[in-house]
Amino acid sequence: MTKTLSLIIALNYNNNPVNSFGILPSNNIISISSEGKIIIFDNKFYQIIQTIRLAHNNIIFDISIKDENNFATCSGDKSIKTWLKTQDNKYELNHNISDIHENDIHKIIFLEDNSIISCSKDEKIKILKLINNKYICNIILNHNSPVYSILYIKEENILISSGTKSTLFWNLNDVLNSFIVSVNAVCYGKNALRKIDDERFIIGGAEKIQILSIKKKEIIKEIETDFLVWAICVIKDRKLFLCGGVSDNIMIFNSDNYEKNLIINCHNNNIRSISLLKDGRIITGSEDSRTKIWKIL
């Protein structure tokens, strides 16, 4: 069992909470924050490559990477924006999709075919298609509570949405009869719904984490936690998952037997995001405005 995390570097790029990260195929990092700013920095020397200061007019909640040249962001300004890498290796606004939702957009998934799936505090999930270089909403799925996170299972073309009351399964092969089942599992963080493997996924919320079966579509394990979980990172090759949230601590679990070890004082405030770099390093973002890079020991 892993015993600790070793800090490599602490970065102070932001003046506001660090909400999430996108990891490019090059392993360079895109950081989004509560001040509506996007920062892109390299993964070796941690030098800033580009700063987009007014990317959104409100808090940026999530980022989704399509490939090295394309990513999308969503915001409390109720907009989704796509960004395209230009010939001078800078990212510029490609599409500004406004008024898609009636409230904060918490999470997005940018698919290979350029489609975008979004979820919102307005209790709706929307699927947007790019038609004649314009995004059109052609599918609306109604959740029964504010939706904080979504997970797409590509192999089965199933979407999982989770919010403050329940977790719903949707079959995207059948638009007219897409709803499959509702499960009594709740989620309070855009980064707290993750796939563990082909059989299981994990949800964090309400001071517990819940393990669900993808095929059976039911809860198979519940684990009490020391705090409300906002962020989860799964490390498949080491059979681990890390949890952070309303605490300055990170919990590490073995994904086979769910044994827990507590890592203390990773940040000076609540942890909003934990992500895995392609070389095995961990990156965390917090309400203390710090970005930290860690090595797993």
Tens digit of each residue's pLDDT (9 = 90 or more) over 169-206:
999 999 888 999 999 999 999 999 999 999 999 999 88
Mean per-residue pLDDT of the chain = 95
Mean pLDDT of 272-280: 97
Mean pLDDT of 22-39: 97
Task: Please report the domains of the chain, with CATH numbers, ordered by start residue.
Answer: 16-229 (2.130.10.10)
| pLDDT value of residue 1 | 56
Asked if residues 24 and 65 have their Cβ atoms less than 8 Å apart, the reply is yes
- 263 confidence band (pLDDT: 50, 70, 90): confident
| pLDDT value of residue 162 | 98
Q: Which residues of 251-280 are buried (b: 16+ CB within 10 A; e: fewer)?
A: bbbebeeeebeebeebbeebbbbbbbbeee
pLDDT tens per residue, range 205-251: 888 999 999 999 999 999 999 899 999 999 999 899 999 999 999 99
Asked if residues 273 and 231 have their Cβ atoms less than 8 Å apart, the reply is yes
Asked if residues 97 and 128 have their Cβ atoms less than 8 Å apart, the reply is yes
| pLDDT value of residue 193 | 98
Asked if residues 13 and 31 have their Cβ atoms less than 8 Å apart, the reply is yes
**pTM of the full predicted structure?**
0.95
| pLDDT value of residue 50 | 98
With a cut of 90, say whether residue 71 has pLDDT above it.
Answer: yes
**Edge-to-edge strands, sheet with 250-254:** 229-235, 240-245, 250-254, 260-263
At residue 82, what is the residue type? T
| pLDDT value of residue 2 | 57
With a cut of 90, say whether residue 262 has pLDDT above it.
Answer: no
